[in-house]
Amino acid sequence: MPPNAPTRARTRGRARHVQQWPLSFPRSGFQGNAEAVSCTRIVNKTTTLVNDSDCPPASRPEPQVRRCNSHPCQSRWVTGPWNPCSATCEKGIQHREVTCVYQLQNGTHVGTRPLYCPGPRPAAVQSCEGQDCLSVWEASEWSQCSATCGAGTRKRTVTCTNSQGKCDASTRPRAEEACEDHSGCYEWKTGDWSKCSSTCGKGLQSRVVQCMHKVTGRHGNECPALSKPAAYRQCYQEVCNDKINVNTITSPRLAALTYKCTRDQWTVYCRVIREKNLCQDMRWYQRCCQTCRDFYANKMRQPPSPPSPSS
């Protein structure tokens, strides 16, 4: 009888022992299986399983063992995805499912005992680090606008205060933004110096000084007063002749009688005329008669200078 026959009789009689090879479960790792021995009764060609005591013990055959499942193992480890880290910040652990499965001929997998899977079992636990650490962005003060007249940009330093440098990029403050500054739109503009007011000796020159917008050219008052250029300066011509200049005032009283003074014609400039000692010139005296008259009045009230030792 072939070795794969389902039954094999060892004794004859009404009750006899029968050997039967069990079906081998298709799992890798089995090296062999044992032959099953049972006591059966045959009545009218019908086999019935009976108690082992109904068969003679001496006729019980010895179990036989044969090799099975000699094909290569089809079991392997299957791992699932890692669970979220146990800590939302800093260090923690995370788990995953690790299963030993057997691949059937139709391609499906069924679970089996871990000892049937070759190789070391993959790790089911590992250390992890939470990514949701409290992060704070720190920003410095804004720099000055890159433009002093119109549109420009300004910048600042943005730093992550997290000890590991893990700050959420989506919440990072801006490090640069647009700005406008019109504080430097106005500047002092000067004209050319005029001719010297005197044809000989000491005189005065003037020029136009205006605060103007750099772009529009409009006049304004936003220019810094400390940086305003001078509108007047002294000038010097050739030395006058020894003869008395017809324009030189020798007697302030005579000048006051000769020219009827109503008020200063150059209100803004008369102070400069007085400071530069130009009131003695009748031309300037006429334009700033009130200022020059007060100047001479104060001068006449001053005590006379003492004579020099050499005289």
Summarised one tens digit per residue, pLDDT across range 91-117 is: 889 999 999 998 887 778 888 888 888
Same structural domain for residues 122 and 142? no
307, part of any domain: no
pLDDT at 33 over 80: no
176: left (phi over 0), alpha (psi -120 to 50) or beta: beta
Report which DSSP code applies to 252: H
2, part of any domain: no
Kindly indicate the confidence band of residue 133, based on its pLDDT and cuts at 50, 70 and 90.
Answer: low
**Predicted pLDDT at 13:** 43
Same structural domain for residues 12 and 31? yes
Torsion of CA 223, 146, 158, 173, to 10 degrees: 90
The set of residues, in sequence order, having a beta carbon less than 8 Å from that of 64 and lying 6+ positions away, is: 19, 34, 35
pLDDT at 251 over 70: no
Of 241, 257, 272, the position where a domain reaches its end is 241
Provide the token pair at 28.
Answer: 């890798």
Same structural domain for residues 152 and 189? no
pTM of the model: 0.33
Instruction: Report the domain count for the chain.
Output: 5
84, part of any domain: yes
Domain containing 95 — which CATH number?
2.20.100
The residue among 75 and 74 whose pLDDT is bigger is: 75
Q: Look-up: residue for tokens 């250029």?
A: 229
Same structural domain for residues 102 and 87? yes
174, part of any domain: yes
271, part of any domain: yes
**Predicted pLDDT at 27:** 42
311, part of any domain: no
**Residue-number span of the structural domain to which 92 is assigned:** 75-131
